[in-house]
Amino acid sequence: MFNKTKEYMQKVKEQIRQYETTEDMHAQLSDMFRYWQEKYFKPRFFEIFGANNHLDFYWKPLAERIQKTGCRDVISFGSGDAQVEVGVAAGLKREGINDFRFHCVELSPVQIKRAQEFVKKAGLEDNFVFVEADFNTWVSNEQMFAGAMCHHALHHVLDLEHLIASIRAALHPQGCFVSIDVVGRNGHMRWPEALELIEYIWRFLPEEKRYHHILKTLDKEYVNRDCSTQGFEGIRSQDILPILNQNFKFEKFFAFGNLVDVFTSRGYGANYNSNDELDKAFIDFIQYLNDLLIDLGHIKPTRMCAVMVLEDKEPVRTYKNWTPEFCIRMPDLPS
């Protein structure tokens, strides 16, 4: 049984505080991130999932499983203000599925309140159930789900083994688990092989490209910050992919990111202008290098989109040969 120590409860408090004043956590994405997303992310994402955006990515497999299993319940973990779930629900409705129930598991009462308001505005109150709970201890109440999703919240899970086992136990045998998340090094740090390259690149950068817009600091040297020191941000991100790989069969999988994350991030992305040819050429070069080094196995992707199932299916659909196994970055062995 999970031990809720004083230290753990302190982290829970910090975690709730993290989003207390964040009205829209997907805001603040840089213009250069959008450039990169349109040019590199979207075509590959579409090729694998047949989805134009993250909402299509989630509702399509969930709709398929609701229809296949006859089970009307789906569940989302770390659902935050449920903006994504409301968009997913709209997709289910467009598909002619009206009698589904969306269970939203969320730790923060502040987020749940925002979500309830959002659901009410969308006229979807009859379709939503809110569960204020900690996903590190959550277990299903004998309820069976056609599908489960987790959008950008697995990187907040401390007891990944527990949550993944609980999801498996709660899924219909023909159900699916769908997720988009950050799977790089804990605390969103760079692994040594990527850090070395970022430090080389940093030396070429003029000062105006080294400014961190969230922290409002000029990083003369690149700082390999650990975001997991407060709350659960990136607490075990490097374990997500290996644990998913042990517990699920991947139906579709797309991995991306690493060096390019730094230059398109909320922190540094605003230093680049998508109308500037030189800035675009720089991002294009970093993306080229990123792809090449992943192909060579020198660096590993830091983010993933995955549709997972319990039963063996056809071989996983991936971008190139970038399968889940290929994309796992094993932690360094102690020397």
Ligand X SMILES: C[S@@+](CC[C@H](N)C(=O)[O-])C[C@H]1O[C@@H](n2cnc3c(N)ncnc32)[C@H](O)[C@@H]1O
Q: Say whether residue 84 binds ligand X (CB under 6 A).
A: yes
Q: Return the number of the residue (15 or 265) whose C-beta is nearest ligand X.
A: 15
In the complex, the smallest distance separating the C-beta of residue 63 from ligand X, rounded to whole angstroms, is: 19
Number of residues assigned to the chain: 335
Query: Max Cα separation, the chain?
Result: 58
Q: Say whether residue 163 binds ligand X (CB under 6 A).
A: no
- Which among 40, 39, 60 has a CA at the least distance from the CA of 49? 60
Q: Say whether residue 255 binds ligand X (CB under 6 A).
A: no
x/- map, 131-160, ligand X, by CB under 6 A: ---xxx--------------xxx--x----
Q: Say whether residue 184 binds ligand X (CB under 6 A).
A: no
x/- map, 99-138, ligand X, by CB under 6 A: ------xxxx--x----------------------xxx--
- Measuring CA to CA, how many Å separate 16 from each of 179, 226, 254? 22, 19, 30
Q: How far apart are the first and last CA of the chain?
A: 32
In the complex, the smallest distance separating the C-beta of residue 78 from ligand X, rounded to whole angstroms, is: 3
Place of tokens 């023909």: 174
Residue selected from 51, 57, 74, 80 as contacting ligand X according to rule CB under 6 A:
80
Identify each DSSP E strand in the chain by its residue range.
Answer: 73-77, 101-106, 128-132, 145-151, 171-182, 211-212, 217-218, 249-256, 303-309, 317-318
x/- map, 14-33, ligand X, by CB under 6 A: -x---x-----x--------
The conformation of residue 332, written as its DSSP 8-state character, comes to P
Q: Return the number of the residue (25 or 215) whose C-beta is nearest ligand X.
A: 25
d(CA 166, CA 148): 11
In the complex, the smallest distance separating the C-beta of residue 113 from ligand X, rounded to whole angstroms, is: 12
Tokens of 157: 């899970």
Q: Say whether residue 228 binds ligand X (CB under 6 A).
A: no
- Per-residue exposure over 31-45, b if at least 16 CB sit within 10 Å of its own CB, e if not: ebbebbeeebbeebb
Q: Return the number of the residue (25 or 218) whose C-beta is nearest ligand X.
A: 25
Interacting residue ranges for ligand X, rule: CB under 6 A: 15, 19, 25, 78-80, 84, 105-108, 111, 134-136, 151-153, 156, 232
